[in-house]
Amino acid sequence: MVSRVIPVDPFDLVIFGGTGDLARRKILPGLFRRFCSGQMPEGSQIIGAARSDIDDAEYRNMVSDAVEEFGGGRTCERGTLEAFLDTIHFVTTDAKGDGGWNELNGKMRPDCVRAFYFSVGPSLFGDLAERLHRFGLATPDSRIVVEKPFGHDLKSAKALNATLAQHFDEAQIYRIDHYLGKETVQNLMAVRFGNMLFEPLWNAQYVDHIQITVAETVGVGGRGSYYDKSGAMRDMVQNHLMQLLCLIAMEPPAKFDPDAVRDEKLKVIRALEPVDWHHVVRGQYGAARDAPSYREDVENPKSSTESFVAMKCHVSNWRWAGTPFYMRTGKRLKARTSEIAVVFKDAPHSIFGVDAGRHRNVLAIRLQPNEGMTLDVTIKEPGPGGMRLLDVPLDMSFAETLGAEAEEAPDAYERLIMDVIRGDQTLFMRGDEVEAAWAWTDPIIADWVMRNDVPKEYEPASSGPEDALMLMHRDGRKWREVKA
Ligand code: BG6
């Protein structure tokens, strides 16, 4: 197969927090997969930087273990892992002191693209940015990559943006939301703007409502101290679900370029109406026979943090006036599934009479697992018995339809890291976008605090609290089933 990947020049990538969980689980295995696919040009180097007192050999062992454990079973030609490990180095570096910075500088090559991945807590962003300048590591061609959570609220996000802006231009800052790196999320744009079929119907006149579901089966065990201060609203809605909503609701950008796309997303966030508290449901998972409750997981018996949120939102503009967007996300649910469903309106008049029942076209875009799309269309039920109608899905699983090409698609982190090296910010959040998202989220959270809201307990392995079902039922609508 002819590779259609845009080649990149050799680069130096420094991973601050290079021994941490994200580096081990995502960043390093992702880089290895790109290396196997021949997309890490010869002469590139990856430098882990952290406080640990280890040398190159010890770090390479750690990287090798990480690749084996989290590499997704990618098999390469013999010797590939060794060749990959040769590109890896380690420098003991103190983010809050001056130790290691000169040595790190000594490792960087003058003429390459430099990317600095801040895989550390946001409290260190300012220290790292300042030292990159003071020790002369930041060149005009340098980029920094920052992870979520980007702030805890609007105030802290503004402060972070201001800190980074002291040392780097916006064009050098890559704020990661890994949902934007998912294949199907980008497919949303391809489906909308690459086809004639959908866009003319993509508005309040034809769309009854939209559902966004991101359901997980995992609990928060192991991440309790972070999660209990955050909750589903900050952890998932403010970023991942908001980005999905933007891609569905935005106007067509004039071209597929970073600012054109991000300008349109920003307009959507700014058009979101404040959410009425009657339209938000919070939940917290209880205990199962074989699994602890949320409160046990976070070791906080009185926690009132939500592990589930469902809400109804409105995008107040000409395209979407009156079309509700229902979003829900939660942990310890029945199945791991993420899906966006565009539910079209009924045909204006049924020539088949009331007995034919209600039939609606639904375009469902599955993000995971088994990425793909289905379009429910109404047909005549086969066989005798008159004109009975039936909804059947036109089903397309990308893996089945596209075979190996779909299976080899890079995972979100791999794609995003290579975009950083290419200097393409399209799939990264701009500072104003993040701030606008917090400006919409903050009042919802403030309202819970003011009302001492306690989340509804829901059964593990369910679809969430009963009230979330009611949110839809009250409107004469129904959530699509959460199923794998
Ligand atoms: C992360 C959240 O950003 O996304 C986690 O912090 C969540 O709580 C994860 O589990 C979900 O990502 P994915 O790719 O597994 O759907």
Q: How far is CA 265 from the centre of its chain?
A: 15
Give the CA-trace dihedral at 100, 150, 229, 443, to 10 degrees: 160
> 235 CB less than 6 Å from ligand 1?
yes
Residue with the smallest CA separation from ligand 1 atom 4 is 236
Measured CA angle at 30 (ends 26, 34), to 5 deg: 175
Q: How far apart are CA 113 and CA 116, in angstroms?
A: 10
To test the ligand 1 pocket, which listed residue (70, 148, 152, 178) has its Cβ within 8 A of the most ligand atoms? 178
To test the ligand 1 pocket, which listed residue (236, 332, 366) has its Cβ within 8 A of the most ligand atoms? 236
- Contacts of residue 425, Cβ cutoff 8 Å, sequence gap at least 6: 171, 174, 258, 262, 419
- The catalytic site residues sit at 240
Q: How far is CA 10 from the centre of its chain?
A: 27
Q: Which residue has the tokens 């982190």?
A: 413
> 339 CB less than 6 Å from ligand 1?
no
Task: State the pTM of this model.
Answer: 0.94
Longest CA–CA span in the chain (Å) reads: 82
The string of pLDDT tens digits covering residues 295-322 is 999 999 999 999 999 999 999 999 999 9
> 371 CB less than 6 Å from ligand 1?
no
Tell me the sheet residues that pair with 143.
Answer: 115
Model pLDDT, residue 28: 95
Tell me the sheet residues that pair with 378.
Answer: 391
The string of pLDDT tens digits covering residues 148-200 is 889 999 999 999 999 999 999 999 999 999 999 998 888 899 999 999 999 99
Q: Which atom of ligand 1 lies nearest, measured to the CA of 220?
A: 8
Nearest partner of 158 among 428, 445, 434, judged by Cα = 434
Residue with the smallest CA separation from ligand 1 atom 8 is 235
Q: What are phi and psi of 334, to 5 degrees?
A: -60, -35
> 216 CB less than 6 Å from ligand 1?
yes
Q: β-pairing, 372-380 with 362-368?
A: antiparallel
Q: Which atom of ligand 1 lies nearest, measured to the CA of 177?
A: 3
Model pLDDT, residue 161: 97
> 177 CB less than 6 Å from ligand 1?
no
CA of 247 to the centre of ligand 1 (A): 18
Residue with the smallest CA separation from ligand 1 atom 2 is 235
pLDDT (tens place) for every residue of the chain, 484 residues total: 444 566 788 999 999 999 999 999 999 999 999 998 888 888 899 999 999 999 999 999 999 999 999 887 666 667 889 999 999 999 999 999 999 999 999 999 988 899 999 999 889 999 999 999 999 999 988 999 999 889 999 999 999 999 999 999 999 999 999 999 998 888 899 999 999 999 999 999 999 999 999 999 999 988 999 999 999 999 999 999 999 999 999 999 999 999 999 999 999 999 999 999 999 999 999 999 989 999 999 999 999 999 999 999 999 999 999 999 999 999 999 999 999 999 999 998 888 887 778 889 999 999 888 888 899 999 888 888 788 888 898 887 777 777 766 666 678 899 999 999 999 999 999 999 999 999 999 999 999 999 999 999 999 999 999 999 999 999 999 999 988 7
CA of 367 to the centre of ligand 1 (A): 13
**What residue ranges define each of the domains in the chain, with the CATH number in brackets?**
11-147 (3.40.50.720), 181-410+431-473 (3.30.360.10)
Q: E strands within 223-371? A: 280-285, 308-314, 324-330, 337-344, 362-368
Q: How far apart are CA 343 and CA 361, in angstroms?
A: 6
To test the ligand 1 pocket, which listed residue (26, 152, 216) has its Cβ within 8 A of the most ligand atoms? 216
Q: How far apart are CA 466 and CA 289, in angstroms?
A: 20
Model pLDDT, residue 2: 43
- Rounded alpha-carbon distances, angstroms, from residue 6 to 111, 267, 477: 20, 30, 45
